[in-house]
Amino acid sequence: MSSAKQIVKKLLQAYPEPEIELNHSNALELLVATILSAQCTDQRVNEVTRELFKKYRKAEDYARANQAEFEKEIKPTGFYKNKARQIISCCKDLVERFGGRVPDNLDDLVTLSGVGRKTANLVLGVAFKKPAIAVDTHVQRVSRRLGLTQEEKPDKIEQDLMKKIPKDKWTDFTLAMILHGRRVCKARRPLCKECVLYKECQWEGKEK
Ligand code: SF4
């Protein structure tokens, strides 16, 4: 078994049926929560969206939002001015170009204002159950440490991972890597002694 396949196998044994920790009940909510999650914990985002999602139910609701009021509502997630602008203009795009619906393909998703490949792939994989690799900070760091890629840029890392990881595992792999990065392979002081991937890991900085 190739090292990549072995990594996927062990990872999914450690995190069977991995799930995203951002609460949502549809693609639009996931899209909004993902934009809010930049530089913020999922827990904080979930606290904010608990109220937000009661008030804003459709893309039209966000598109019509009052910018100043919306900023206040999402303020605890940080960078709220930018995030408010992004969400409102993303939803204007949804209303004007996609009839208020979140598109279920990458090409259209990345045309939305404020939506990059990471967010698009997350929505594609989680909300639409299509195979997708989303390279966030955890996937980026853990993939490099494991030796699955030597690249630094997320787009290039995504390309490498798409070649090495079986397609039917792309989404679960992404979600498991995010959990592993948060719980074990942390940015500072990774818990290597507890890591199920210790043997496969090629990082010279791993705990000996
Ligand atoms: S052995 Fe350490 S550095 Fe390597 S993947 Fe596991 S936690 Fe991360």
Tell me the CA end-to-end span of the chain in Å, nearest whole number: 25
99 and 56 share one domain: yes
- Cβ contacts of residue 194 below 8 Å, gap of 6+? 184
Residue 1's pLDDT band, with cuts at 50, 70 and 90, is low
**∠ Cα 156 16 124 (to 5°):** 45
Q: How far apart are CA 52 and CA 31, in angstroms?
A: 13
Indicate whether residue 206 lines ligand 1 (CB < 6 A): yes
Confirm whether 153 is domain-assigned. yes
CA of 127 to the centre of ligand 1 (A): 29
* Torsion of Cα atoms, 132 then 76 then 46 then 55, to 10°: -100
56 and 140 share one domain: no
What's the confidence (pLDDT) of residue 5?
Answer: 93
Q: Which of 78, 111, 127 is the last residue of a domain?
A: 127
Residue 76 has pLDDT above 80, yes or no: yes
Residue 208 has pLDDT above 90, yes or no: no
CA of 195 to the centre of ligand 1 (A): 6
7 and 75 share one domain: no
Q: Which of 112, 127, 142 is the last residue of a domain?
A: 127
CA atoms within 13 A on the CB side of 10: 16
Mean per-residue pLDDT for 156-175? 98
Site to probe by mutation for ligand 1, drawn from 145, 183, 189 as the one with most ligand atoms within 8 Å of Cβ, is 145
Closest ligand 1 atom to residue 197 Cα is: 6
Site to probe by mutation for ligand 1, drawn from 139, 146, 195, 204 as the one with most ligand atoms within 8 Å of Cβ, is 195
Site to probe by mutation for ligand 1, drawn from 6, 182, 201 as the one with most ligand atoms within 8 Å of Cβ, is 201
Confirm whether 208 is domain-assigned. no
148 and 184 share one domain: yes
The residues assigned a catalytic role are 118, 136
Confirm whether 159 is domain-assigned. yes
Any idea what the CATH number is for the domain that residue 121 is in? 1.10.340.30
Confirm whether 203 is domain-assigned. no
Mean per-residue pLDDT for 198-206? 94
Please state, for a pLDDT cut of 90, what percent of the chain lies above it: 97
Residue 150 has pLDDT above 90, yes or no: yes
Average pLDDT, the chain: 97
The three state secondary structure string of the chain is CCHHHHHHHHHHHHCCCCCCCCCCCCHHHHHHHHHHCCCCCHHHHHHHHHHHHHHCCCHHHHHCCCHHHHHHHHHHHCCHHHHHHHHHHHHHHHHHHHCCCCCCCHHHHCCCCCCCHHHHHHHHHHHCCCCCCCCCHHHHHHHHHHCCCCCCCHHHHHHHHHHHCCHHHHHHHHHHHHHHHHHCCCCCCCCHHHCCCCCCCCCCCCCC
Any idea what the CATH number is for the domain that residue 151 is in? 1.10.1670.10
What's the confidence (pLDDT) of residue 207?
Answer: 87
CA of 8 to the centre of ligand 1 (A): 14
Q: Which of 127, 147, 174 is the last residue of a domain?
A: 127
Q: Which residue, by CA, sits nearest to atom 2 of ligand 1?
A: 192
Residue 137 has pLDDT above 80, yes or no: yes
What does pTM read for this prediction? Answer: 0.95
Mean per-residue pLDDT for 88-108? 98
Confirm whether 202 is domain-assigned. no
51 and 9 share one domain: no
Confirm whether 205 is domain-assigned. no
Confirm whether 79 is domain-assigned. yes
9 and 32 share one domain: no
Confirm whether 206 is domain-assigned. no
Indicate whether residue 192 lines ligand 1 (CB < 6 A): yes
Tokens of 144: 């490099």
Mean per-residue pLDDT for 157-178? 98
What's the confidence (pLDDT) of residue 52?
Answer: 98
Closest ligand 1 atom to residue 196 Cα is: 6
Q: How many domains, in total, are found in the chain?
A: 2
Mean per-residue pLDDT for 185-203? 96
Indicate whether residue 11 lines ligand 1 (CB < 6 A): no
Chain Cα centroid distance, residue 56? 22
58 and 9 share one domain: no
Please state, for a pLDDT cut of 70, what percent of the chain lies above it: 99
Which structural domain range is residue 182 located in?
3-18+133-194
